[in-house]
Every structure is written in C-alpha cells, then in structure tokens.
Structure 1
C-alpha cells in the first residue's frame, strides 16, 4: 500500500505559500477553500493556475454544483486528472486510487507547449471575468477581483520577509516564549491580510545571544515554526551572522590583536585572501557554523572557504541573487562599536563577481555601514549601493529606511530593527514586495507594543509620512 507525506492548507494564501515554495507529486484541491467572511468562494480556481505553472497533477474534490464551472475547468486545465463529487460516497472511497493514478500521470510542460499555456491563461482570464459577473454578492465579486490582482502581482514581483536580531538565549520564560509565538502568528496574519506570499526570508544576524549550542537549538525550533507558517523551505531561509553569533571565548589574544591591527584596505584584502588567516579569524563562529551546517543540511555553510555566499533564484522572470556577507569576522567584545568592524572589499567584490549575471542583487549583512572602520566604510557602501538594488541589515535595533541615489544607481537600504530584543527596544520586522519591471515596491512595517498583554501593530511611529504601516517606494 502506498504511503504519502501530506501537507494541508485551508486558506488561499497558505496554499499559495506551499505551492510557490515547495515541490509536490500531486495535489488534492477543493474549489472552495475556507474564507472567514464568506463560505461560497472560488479560491481553488486560482490555485489551479499556480499548480499548472508548477506542473503538478490535480485531483479536484468539490461540492460546487455549477456544472458550467466544472466543465470549463476540465476543458481549460490539462493538469486536472479527475473531478470527484464530495456527495458521491463511492467516488470518495476510491479517492486514494485516483490520487495514485494522478501521481503517475504526465502532462506537457510550459517549455514543451508554450502556446497551449498561453491559451489556458487566456481562458482563465475569461473564466474569472465570468465568475465576477455572475457573483451573487458584492463581497464575492470584490474577493475574486482581489485574488485576480494578487495572482497577477505574484507573477511579476519578488516578495520577502525580513527579521533580525532574535538574540535567542537560554531564557525560556513565559514572556520570551509569548513574544516569539506572537511574532509567528503576526507574520502569518500579515501574509494573509496583504496577500504577500514570500519567495524567501532573510535573518540578518544575531540569531543567538552568545553563539552557544543551546541557543542555536532554540533557534532551530523557531525556524521550523517560521518555515511552517510561511510555507518556505530551508533553501529559501537565508541567514548571516552578527556579533552575538560570535563565541567570544574562542577569540584568542592573537586573533584579537590581528583584528584590531587592520586599518588599510590592502592588508584587509590580503588577510581575506589567505586560507590560513581566514581559518584563524573565523574560529569564533564555531557554534554558528555548526548550526547552519547541520540545520540547513548543506544549503548553507560557514568555513574558511565559504565565509560568504551567493544564492540565486529565478523569480518574476528574472534572476535574483542574494549576497550573504559576514560583517562580524573581527567582532570580539563589547568594544565593537562605531568604526570598529570590517566587511572587506575583497569579500564584497568576490560576492558581486558571483552575482554579476543577476538582474536583481540583494545584499544581506548584520552591521550598518556606519559601524565599519573608516578605511573601508565609504568603499563598501559605494560598492554595495551601486551594484545592489537592496541592502538589508540589522544590529541597530531600530527600523530605518534609506533610499540611496547616485548618477549611476539607486538602492534601498533596509534596517530590520530587532525582532526579539526585550523591553529596551520596540521589536520590529518587515515584509517587502518589489516589482522589477516597474521599479516600484512597498514595505509593510510591523512594531510590537508592550502595552497590556502585548501585541503587534502597524508601525506608524517610526516615520511621519508612513501611513497604515506601509511605505511605498520607487527605484
């Protein structure tokens, strides 16, 4: 008897997250997904389009009485293997066999028959237009229009979640656990409310509080829940180390002296070009390196050969390159304040070289430019802001949005604030959606309030001109 690993979704956005970011052999789909406002909806029709794009065979299980809609689906979607009537007990009893036959079936790909897929897309547009015309309520028509808009936007945009500075320690108090739980709940709620299905997620450093094994064990549990809420896979969760990911007990006197002595670009590049010197300086990340190697199962590593990375995706018909940079490799103590840290022109140029063919480049690092030593601050900032469309960082524990413009380029620098920083700072995170074609995007800003039992809300306090917690921008 066949056994299956099954993932379920009861909402349109949750289903989109799973379809968008994971691979499946077969899908069992109800045309009427649960919608709190109105039980009579057609969300599942939109999901057919997503499944077709991913070339997933579909078995529809539905009680929709409209034979016209069912006939239209069968004639339009070659990836629909069977439509099963919920009210037919005999058909339901044979569902398992139907699923297995669908799993073994084969359908043409977009590459094999692009004209066919264009025809199907055109039929889909006519089908949805007809459904809107025949809608029995204003809510149903608006709901379909909203889903159609989301469907179009999702194909043309790149969307990501940005969290930072989790500072996960051995603190397992109820308050700490409640803050993390509410963060996950709010992320899922905002994805649904704004129809922002993330393609990937960034964590820009300070995952742990002091780089210890127990702290990363807690991080693994948190990341598991984050991936479940967003529908992302481990390959699409991109992290970089911060100063709190350094195990300071592993920083020898010699490593501290060497780090403190670096004040010219040539010497910094020579150090980063030498495997032995890198190994000596990167020993401080032993706990972090073990965690990312084990948790990400080879998708992410940190060692003397891979102290940065470049991850590439095909999204919105463009190649997206994410540069994961290490800005904490000389971090050693609480004295690591402004003008004391290094990225290294060598690291930046090496990463940009690997990302040279990408249409969109997004840099991740923990520290803002102002924290870098004077000898490289302007060089690193100029390189990244000229060659990348976005630079994401953390460390400052405050949200900060800066649009860098020059005669040659423009870049949005986004400071993620701290997503779990205790009472001293307001916890924050953001969701970003960007349309590479138009150059337009928006950022959903969220802020934690410690009032009462605590709650997440729109961040309308950081900037006077940000309304409803959403910042619109154009690059």
Structure 2
C-alpha cells in the first residue's frame, strides 16, 4: 500500500466460462505476473474491485472455475487484508432462473415509489435475487462479510488515516425481463435502481466511491432519477463496467453535484472479436492522494501481438501521454464534490483522455477528463 494514498485495482467483464481455454489460462498467468511486478514497484492496493460480468452465464461451475484460476491466486498475491469487492453484471444473472419469474412484476414498475416499494418487499426482494444465487455464493466465499447481498452493500476501508466508504450496487437485477427486436440492447434505458440501493454515506467518510456494472444511461432515466441524483450528490467517484472501453472517463457535473466517472476496460472475453483501441483487454488502477485529493487513473492494455504482456495504455491519454487526473475535495471539509469555481462549475481537470467518440450521452454537464 502506498503511503499517503488510497489505491485500487479495477477489473471488469471477465465473462468466465466453466472450462477456460488454454489462451485464457495463459492470459491470466500473464496478468498475475504483471500484477506481481507492479506490486513490487507500487505496493499493494487498498482494495480490488470487480465491476460485473465475472461469469459468462451466472452458473455455479463458472464461479468455481474463476475462483480456482484467478481469485485464489489473486488472494494469495494480495494477502487476506486487501478486500476483494464485487458487483454483479448482466452475465452474472442465471437466465434459466430468471425465465421462471413473473416478468410483469418488474416491467409494470413505472415510477420511483413503485420501485422502492417493490425492492422493500422482502418476498419480492428474495424472489428476484434468486437469479444471482450462484453469484452471491461466490462473493460470500471470496468477499468481505455482507458484500454478498444481491442488491447493494457498503464496505468501509481505512487508508492513510482516512475513512473511505465504498458502495456496491446491482444495476442488473431488473434486466432480462424486457424483450425487444434487438436483444443485445434490450436492457438499455430499462434497468432500475431504487433509493434503498443508494444510501447516504456517514458524515465521517473522507472519500466516497460507488461501483456498479452499468453506466447511468442504461438505467430508466425517469424512474431512476432520484437514485442517480442521490449517487451524484453523495459519492465522489463512480466505477463502472459493461462498456468495455475507457473512453467515457470523465466528470458528470451539475450546479449541485459532480461525480468522477471511471469506466473499465474488458478484462477478457473479446465479444467484439479483436483487441482494438476501442475495445482493449486490460484493467485500470486508481489512486487518490489523501493530502491533495488528486485522483489519478491509469489504464493497462494486454499486448497479445508482440509481447504477451500488459503495458500502459497511453493511446487513450492526451497528447502529452500523461495519465488523467482530477481533484476531489474530502467530504469532511468540502461536501464531497470535485473542486468548483466561483459560479459552481466543475474546474477543468488536469489531463484529457483522447477520444474518437462524442461526449457520453449522460445529460447536460458531462465533461471528459
């Protein structure tokens, strides 16, 4: 662990099969070797977070396999005092189990109060957690106590004398119950979060982060707005998966809130069929200097062509090749937002991520790093 810093490793979208290929095993060996070397230089992270799609189809045999080939060696590498945190993605849902549910109980939810009442009902809550049973069993084995809850959890970490609250959310629980002519897009704009899933952190938390698989634009905007606004008001950093690309790294700002959005690369699975700059395989490292409140994000891409190793993915950084940074204010002293200028607008961050795409469609006030 680095003195004076809160650091984490973010891995996402493994899509792990029950029977891993030789290529996947070799890839994981190279990843673990790279992490071991990185740790020798930079120290251990304060936590590691997996932002969803750990398994390919939410089956217990897939979790048994990823536990054996990745999680157990990672636990041995990091030691028992570095928490492994997990949130589920759409691939962590057992769809055979979801098929027997009454989908209209979800699809008929049309307003925030209805969603809150639904999730607050113990019978509904247990019923629609069933498709994540294998996921929760896996997390109960490898994660901190209490983080196996199928809807949300909160975990507290102390780093360099500062209290850090991490919130984990299930953004996939209402997925799969909608059908459209484009199955791959059937969840977009339809997923649900309840207010119950977005509790306000304690006033004594110096830094606040949340992790969920889906970016905000995959949620039902009208129904989920209260939950999203709660996250944006009370949390400084959001860690996301699902998009398989780092290019939407940036600040989401409004006159009343700012959250630093950190998307993850695809760790493995290659559903796009290549290792392009748009959908690279790899992971990210985040760090917050607890003295200056500067947050830095670094991305590492797997080079399968020349070296079978991980190298810093500077292609997505600005022209100067330096990793992006943003300044956060400790909540205890500044209310939990990024630094603001006199009219309440988020100050420009110090680096920009190179992009060939327009600003993410996350509403007015979206800024890139």
TM-score range, shorter chain: 0.7 to 0.9
Q: CA deviation at 1:227?
A: 2.1
Quote the Cα distance in structure 1 between the aligned partners of 2:144 and 2:244: 30
1:271 lines up with 2:118 in the alignment? yes
- Give 4+ residue runs of structure 1 displaced > 4 Å after superposition: none
Q: Residue 284 of structure 1 is aligned with which of 123, 131, 140?
A: 131
Cross-structure match for 1:460: 314
What residue in structure 1 maps to residue 170 of structure 2?
Answer: 326
- What CA distance in whole angstroms lies between the structure 1 residues aligned with 2:61 and 2:112? 37
Q: What SS class does the counterpart of residue 148 from structure 2 fall into?
A: coil
**Structure 2 residue matching 1:337: 3-state secondary structure:** coil
Instruction: Check the 8 A contact 2:16/2:66 in 1, yes or no.
Output: yes
Indicate how the Cα distance of structure 1 residues 160 and 421 shifts in structure 2: closer, same or farther if over 3 A, else same: same
Deviations 1:338-360 (A, max 9, x none): 20211222311xx325x443221
In structure 1, what is the equivalent of residue 74 of structure 2? 226
Inter-partner Cα distance in structure 2 for 1:438 and 1:420:
34
Alignment of 1:39-438 (within 5 A): 154-193=2-41, 195-221=42-68, 222-233=70-81, 236-296=83-143, 298-302=145-149, 307-332=151-176, 334=183, 336-348=186-198, 351-352=199-200, 355-399=202-246, 400-422=248-270, 423-424=273-274, 425-438=279-292
- 3-state secondary structure, aligned to 1:461: helix
- 1:386 is displaced (CA, Å) by 1.9
Counterparts of 2:110 and 2:92, CA distance in 1: 23
1: CA distance, partners of 2:257 / 2:190: 28
Q: 2:347 maps to what in 1?
A: none
Q: In structure 1, which of residues 437, 450, 453 is the aligned counterpart of residue 304 of structure 2?
A: 450
- The alpha-carbon deviation at position 161 of structure 1 amounts to 0.8
Instruction: Output the CA distance in 2 between the equivalents of 1:293 and 1:466.
Output: 43
For residues 271 and 377 of structure 1, do their structure 2 counterparts lie closer, same or farther at Cα, with a shift above 3 Å needed? closer
Cα distance in 1 for partners of 2:79, 2:319 equals 33
Cα pair 1:404 1:413 within 8 Å, conserved: yes
Aligned to 1:147: none
- For residues 306 and 107 of structure 2, what CA distance do their matches in structure 1 show? 45
Give the Å deviation of 1:267.
0.5
Structure 1 residues 309 and 213: alpha-carbon distance in aligned structure 2, compared to 1, 3 A threshold = same
CA RMSD in angstroms comes to 2.2
- The CA deviation at 1:157 is 1.5
In the aligned structure 1, how far is the partner of 2:145 from the partner of 2:197? 21
C-alpha separation between the residues in 1 aligned to 2:26 and 2:45? 24
Deviation at 1:459, TM superposition (A): 0.8
What's the offset of the Cα at 1:377?
A: 4.5
Take 2:299 and 2:254, find their aligned partners in 1: how far apart are those partners?
26
Which ranges of structure 2 fall in alignment gaps of 5 or more residues? 178-182, 329-369
CA distance in 2, matches of 1:421, 1:461: 21
CA shift, 1:297, in A, is: 7.3
SS in 2 for 1:302: coil
Cα 1:297–1:309 change in 2 (3 A) is closer
Partner of 1:127: none
User: Does the CA contact (< 8 Å) of 1:426 and 1:449 recur in 2?
Assistant: no
Measured in 2, the distance between the counterparts of 1:391 and 1:215 equals 27
Q: In 2, are the aligned partners of 1:263 and 1:373 still within 8 Å (CA)?
A: no
Equivalent positions of 1:27-42 (< 5 A) are none
Whole-angstrom CA distance in 2 between matches of 1:262 and 1:343: 11
Residues 55 and 62 in structure 2, CA contact (< 8 A), matched pair in contact too: yes
